[in-house]
Amino acid sequence: MKKDKKNIKYLFNGIGSSKFALVLIGLVLLFLIVAIILPQAEFFTAEQINSWQEERPLVGKIADTLGLFDIFNSHFFLFTIALLFLNILVCTILRFNKTGGLKALKGSGKIRVYGFLTIHFSLLLLLIGTFLSSSFQLKGSIVLTENQSFFDKEDNYQYLSKGAFREKEHLGFMIRQKKIDAYYEDGKHHLRTDCYIDILNKNNKLTMAAVKVNKPYNYNGYDITTSEIGFSPLILIYDENTGKKMGGTYFALNTSRIAGNRVYRDYFKFPFFENKIFFTIYPDYKEKDGNIIKTGENPVNPIILVETQNEEGDFIKIGHVRLKEKIKIANYNFYFADLKWWSKYIIMDDPGYPIVAIALWIGVIGLVIRYYPDIARWAKENENIA
């Protein structure tokens, strides 16, 4: 019996030890490294991940089997979080008993004890929220050009990450992008973006909503927020000889930031061209010494720089095309017919997020309580010296 108690005590001390905590923290850091090296479902499309696997078949197969392409929703990560929760819980109990247990809550150092317990409670709450998020969350992103629609279906998301144990079905709603208003100071410095959408549920009930940056719209438990905007030019392609329309659509150009400036640029592959065609939008511009210089972000006078790329990777300028004008590429005419805004939306259903937010606030309160006596003593000592 004594031997069993001794073994239990040894196990208890081992679980709550700082060495075990360092091992678990090391595993979390390892997960972070894996997430940096391997493409993650939260940021890469299924096609991009499949392409990565095809280029590295052995590593790709192992990573896919272990769930490493969605590492923070994997069973390995969840198991590590559960062990870390157990470690902090046992460590808290051992430390609390060592300081005197319930008697310490009434002693001279009770404020520090309350602070210690509050901090550790916030850590436990943080891990509970993280576990719930990694188990049951849904986080996806979509890009919608004005007047374009999206149907809530797994294959329709640009990026999609789901919790390891999520079985909740999609709501099956439809989002239609209406107007997008972007506001700039002096036409350059972004102030705010208002995105107006219509949401239609399975019963055809219409909900009109305005989505703003850092101000999510909650629809039946799903938080919908906008994270980026950009431009979608309508390019119509015609055969120069026959005049036959070969195709045409709105191309949502990627928005990036270079040296603090927004750059609207992307490339596309066409079946009748060997090389990629690059489009760069200048929403407003002026010409100087034969060069196009962007002067603003509002599309008041748009122009597109059209380029291609040779085998050496060098960019070759084809020319510029203004709105309602065309440019010849090989035996085809590219007609710049229209320009619309697009918005990128993050759609999230995360049961752990509120718990994580509460845990962080409790942690801040715990730090204030824990170190208040030390700060008060330091202030008093400096007052006496003065």
pLDDT tens-digit readout, 295-333: 889 899 999 999 988 877 788 899 999 999 999 988 899
Mean pLDDT over residues 241-268, rounded? 89
Residue 146 clears pLDDT 90, i.e. is over it: yes
Mean pLDDT over residues 219-240, rounded? 92
Residue 128 clears pLDDT 90, i.e. is over it: yes
Q: Are residues 304 and 372 in the same domain?
A: no
Rounded to whole angstroms, the Cα distance separating 335 from 96 reads 73
How far is residue 368 from each of residues 59, 120, 124, 220, 373, measured CA to CA in Å?
Answer: 47, 13, 18, 37, 9
Q: If you compute the radius of gyration of the chain from its CA atoms, what whole number of angstroms results? A: 28
Q: Are residues 124 and 49 in the same domain?
A: yes
First to last CA, the chain: 62
Residue 53 clears pLDDT 70, i.e. is over it: yes
Q: Are residues 17 and 122 in the same domain?
A: yes
How much is the pLDDT for 385?
63
Helix (H) or strand (E) holding 208: strand 206-212
Q: Are residues 175 and 127 in the same domain?
A: no
How much is the pLDDT for 126?
96
The closest alpha carbon to 135, from 145, 146, 124, 127, belongs to 127
Q: Are residues 236 and 320 in the same domain?
A: yes
Listed range (2-6, 52-56, 64-68, 269-273) with the worst mean pLDDT: 2-6
Q: Are residues 216 and 102 in the same domain?
A: no
Copy the structure tokens of residue 14: 């081992």
Rounded to whole angstroms, the Cα distance separating 113 from 120 reads 11
Q: Are residues 200 and 258 in the same domain?
A: no
Q: Are residues 198 and 74 in the same domain?
A: no
pLDDT tens per residue, range 194-224: 999 999 988 888 899 999 887 889 998 899 9
Domain count for the chain, please give it. Answer: 3
Cβ burial 156-175 (10 Å sphere, 16+ → b, else e): ebebbbbbbebeeeeeebbb
Rounded to whole angstroms, the Cα distance separating 292 from 183 reads 23
- According to DSSP, the residues that pair with 210 across neighbouring strands are 196
Percentage of the chain with pLDDT > 90?
45
Q: Are residues 221 and 239 in the same domain?
A: no
Query: In sequence order, which residues have a C-beta less than 8 Å from that of residue 127 and are 6 or more positions away?
Result: 81, 84, 85, 88
Residue 125 clears pLDDT 90, i.e. is over it: yes
How much is the pLDDT for 230?
94
Rounded to whole angstroms, the Cα distance separating 256 from 54 reads 28
Mean pLDDT over residues 282-289, rounded? 89
Q: Are residues 83 and 96 in the same domain?
A: yes
pLDDT tens per residue, range 359-379: 999 999 999 988 887 777 777
The gap from C-alpha 181 to its chain's centroid, in whole angstroms, comes to 22
Rounded to whole angstroms, the Cα distance separating 342 from 340 reads 7
Residue 386 clears pLDDT 60, i.e. is over it: no
Rounded to whole angstroms, the Cα distance separating 224 from 60 reads 32
- pLDDT band at residue 11 under the 50/70/90 scheme: confident
- Its pTM stands at 0.82
Q: Are residues 20 and 112 in the same domain?
A: yes
Query: In sequence order, which residues have a C-beta less than 8 Å from that of residue 125 and are 6 or more positions away?
Result: 355, 358, 359, 362
> Read out DSSP for 115-171?
HHHHHHHHHHHHHHHHHHHHHH-EEEEEEEETT-EEE--GGG-SEEEE-TT--PPP-
Could you list the residue range(s) of the whole structural domain that residue 188 is in? Answer: 138-228+345-349
Are the C-beta atoms of 352 and 129 separated by less than 8 Å? Answer: yes
Q: Are residues 7 and 116 in the same domain?
A: yes
